[in-house]
Amino acid sequence: MSEEPSIDVVAAEEVVIERTRTLPPRLEFVVKVAAILIGLYEILFIFNFNYTLYDLFQRLGLELDFLRITFQPKQGEAFVMAMLMVITFLLYPIRKKEKYFRKVFAYDYVMGAVGVISMLYLFAVYERYILTSSLNQTDVVFGLIAVLMVLEATRRVLGWVLPAIVSLFLLYGIYAINYDWTRFVQQLYFDEGIFGIPFFVMTIYVFAFIFFGAFLLKIGVSDYITEFMISLFGKRPGGPAKSAVISSALMGTVSGSSVANVLTTGTFTIPLMKKAGYPPEIAGAVEPVASTGGQLMPPIMGAAAFIMAEFLNLPYNKIIIAAVLPAIVYYGGVYLFIDLETKRLGLKGMAAEAFKTMAYFLRKLYILLPIVVITVALVWGIAPQIAAISSLGIAIWVAWISRDEIYGDEKLYVAVALLTTLLMFLGNNVAKQTALVLLAMFFLLVGLGIAKKGVAFNEKFYISAMFLLFIALTKYLGMTKEQIVLMTGVFGIVFSILVGYRSALDSGKMMYRATYEAMIDAGKTSVSVMLAAASAGLIQGVLTMTGELTNIGYRLISLTHGNLWLLLLLTMVFSLILGMGVPTTANYIITSLVAAPAIYMLVRNIEPYNQPVPGYTVLIAMLAAHFFVFYFGILADVTPPVALASYAGSAIAGGDFWKTAINAVKYALAGYIGPYIYFTHPEMFLITVSDWTPAMILRVLYYLLATLFVMYLLAISLTGFYNTHLKKWMRAVIGAIGLAGVTLNPIVIGAGVVAWLGLKFYGSKFAAS
């Protein structure tokens, strides 16, 4: 779920995300403590684990009133930001020149301390502010310092573009309110701004997914997915490229980050693609395109998707349902391009000896259980942060089970973990019976351990016993489903650290490190996405403070003379240009505030846009407008001239950047054209349909198949290949039909089918000489 930072190519085939200082041990310890404190505060007070823990002890007859301490959400956000200041000013130098990476300078300490104090000041005085709603001069001074520190921290981490844009808005804002500094600080420090909706979403939702993803990466889930897909597709023509598409789609559900996804799966898939015969400029383009789609891929999308849910006042599970068909179209389009490129190049599959056996991956399939759990939990409507933490507990358990070096009947332990997971989600009406079943499984493991039949009293047994007994206890005490899944995740972390710390095996020590390092990595990784959200929140605060939030929309409509297609095109260009220097989360926030209202106002009185999303008050017009800007903000990662994801791919592949980037744009065509189709056919968002009649089902199915067919025609045109190399005029005809097919007009689609059949049966007549 992390934001894409800048990248440095430090060697021919080495790419580093967010180059940071290598700190001496004592400062590294400070950074680790700050990162862990973010996680602990999030779990205890933002996820309300302290109240859950209080309820547990109360049911056990203990009144631990100190656990009932509460803080205001703004106080929690201020504490998290204070820790981010510690991490930022120690890890990120004031300039990117080599000498500034060598040590932490005195001004870094001073600025870090000032940043921390300015955030903790809000933590200290916010209770007073709630009561009085008034500011004194000290409040104003600390507020202004806090704004400056956020801008500087953002500049260090993400570069100068976003802070420069924010600064322009800030200058306009203070001018528009006649230099009323008290109002300025009240809006941007106490009420909205730094701690507005974007940063609130980061702390309440996104951090849990960053933590979840960090742990899955630590235990090797990404490697498993990538190697599994390679084994599945590798023997087929173009197997490495096709496996990269599928594995990146699945990994996108974990990382939600384009560049991080390239560097995770690409270091394995790109060399394999080159070995299979793909030129570097194609191998380096496939992975970035596939990885960029990770932020569009449910259930764990980019951080901007969580902000979208908050902006639209829709549950996150509705957002992921709305994103299903667009994700299918995106990855379907990429796959079709790769298939045609493979045939054009005449590539063959790789030898079976190059991969692990399919039996191995099927035996380890349970490693994906956490992703299944989080998907089901989100669709069921469990709060996103609770779903992420609960899945983390399952991830920890299956990670221990997967350690082949630790003795134990793998099938038995998997069956116990799977059954326990199912029982954990049962309601309270069968709580006592569930507790008895869990206790029976515990004693079964004990009995098998005594008999030495597939169970030994080792790490696998201890971790399984802890989960079984704890969940049985919470079920017996009658705790709610949400409380149980939250505690299972949190106590799972504790169980893993305890068992790993006591383990004498390398696998046990590895799990111990993976668990606590995941929390540290989550804290470090969250720096970029949270600072981007805080900076973009300042823009939102200025627009609200000045009343420009609605005025900009009217100005854009006037500029485009009310032409919807021109407005959509202008929005796309603005979003892509903005995305060249601004992370995707900030890009979405800015374009959703600037351009989305204009699109909404232009169509809100037109059928079906004037209808609300069934069951909610938000109009379909607003949903469609926000998704439109969301997609193009993400595609900036593969759009030249910056194209960070393509840059990473070309560096790993050792290919020419511009050729790689152009290929990436071509392969990602579904991402550029798809948003226009979804906007004009909002039924493809699924949640916009109020009555699923047979006719509506057929209509949506037609839209999906027709969209995929349009992508296929465009892929044929751009690759110039369909069973044979095509003449230029035929490519032009196919391309024209494909572009016209964006309307999904049945006549145009029919013409496309006729053209395709002509190629299929009479292709030799259209072959290039």
Residue appearing with tokens 């793909």: 278
Contact criterion met (CB below 8 Å) for 167 and 175: no
Determine, yes or no, domain membership for 483.
Answer: no
- Domain end position, chosen among 190, 220, 253: 190
Query: What is the average pLDDT score of the chain?
Result: 90
Is 767 within 8 Å of 726 (Cβ atoms)? yes
Q: Is residue 633 a part of any domain in this protein?
A: no
Range in 101-115, 177-191, 240-254 the model is least confident about: 240-254
pLDDT exceeds 50 at position 1:
no
User: Is 722 within the bounds of a domain?
Assistant: yes
- Taken in order 291, 297, 301, 304, the sign of the CA dihedral is positive
Share of the chain above pLDDT 70, in %: 96
| Predicted confidence (pLDDT) per residue in 632-650, tens digit | 988 988 998 888 888 889 9
Residue 465 counted as domain residue: no
Per-residue pLDDT band for 147 (boundaries 50, 70, 90) equals very high
Query: Quick check: is 727 in a domain?
Result: yes
What confidence score (pLDDT) does residue 314 get? 95
pLDDT tens for each residue of 510-553 = 999 988 898 899 899 899 899 999 999 999 999 999 988 778 88
What is the per-residue pLDDT across 328-380, written as a single tens digit (0 to 9) for each? 999 999 999 999 999 998 887 777 666 778 888 889 999 989 988 888 888 88
Q: pLDDT tens for residues 447-497?
A: 999 999 999 999 999 999 999 999 999 999 999 988 999 999 999 999 999
What H or E segment, with its residue span, contains residue 596?
Answer: helix 596-603
Partners of 726 in beta bridges: 767
Q: How many domains does the chain have?
A: 2
pLDDT in tens, 545-583: 998 877 888 888 888 999 999 999 999 999 998 888 788
pLDDT at 481: 87
Residue 140 lies in a domain: yes
The two three-digit tokens of residue 88, written as one number: 């930022």
The pair of structure tokens assigned to 486 is 């939250």
Measured CA to CA, the distance from residue 289 to residue 334 in angstroms comes to 8
Q: Which of these ranges, 66-75, 304-313, 397-406, 541-550, has the smallest mean pLDDT? A: 541-550
- Does residue 107 form part of some domain? yes
Q: What are the tens digits of pLDDT across the range 615-624?
A: 999 999 999 9
pLDDT at residue 300 above 90?
no
Instruction: Quickly state the pLDDT bin for 12 (edges 50, 70, 90).
Output: very low
Domain boundary among 190, 225, 245: 190
Per-residue pLDDT tens for 735-747? 999 999 999 999 9
The boundaries of the domain holding residue 757 are 710-769
Average pLDDT over residues 75-96: 96
Task: Evaluate the CA torsion angle 41, 42, 46, 52 in order and state its sign.
Answer: negative
What average pLDDT does the segment 27-41 reach?
96
Query: What pLDDT is recorded for position 452?
Result: 92
Residue finishing a domain among 161, 190, 219? 190
pLDDT at 598 over 50: yes
Cis peptide leading into residue 299 (ω within 30°) = yes
Assess if residue 68 is contained within a domain: yes
Q: What is the mean pLDDT of residues 415-433?
A: 92
Q: Mean of the pLDDT values across residues 597-609?
A: 94
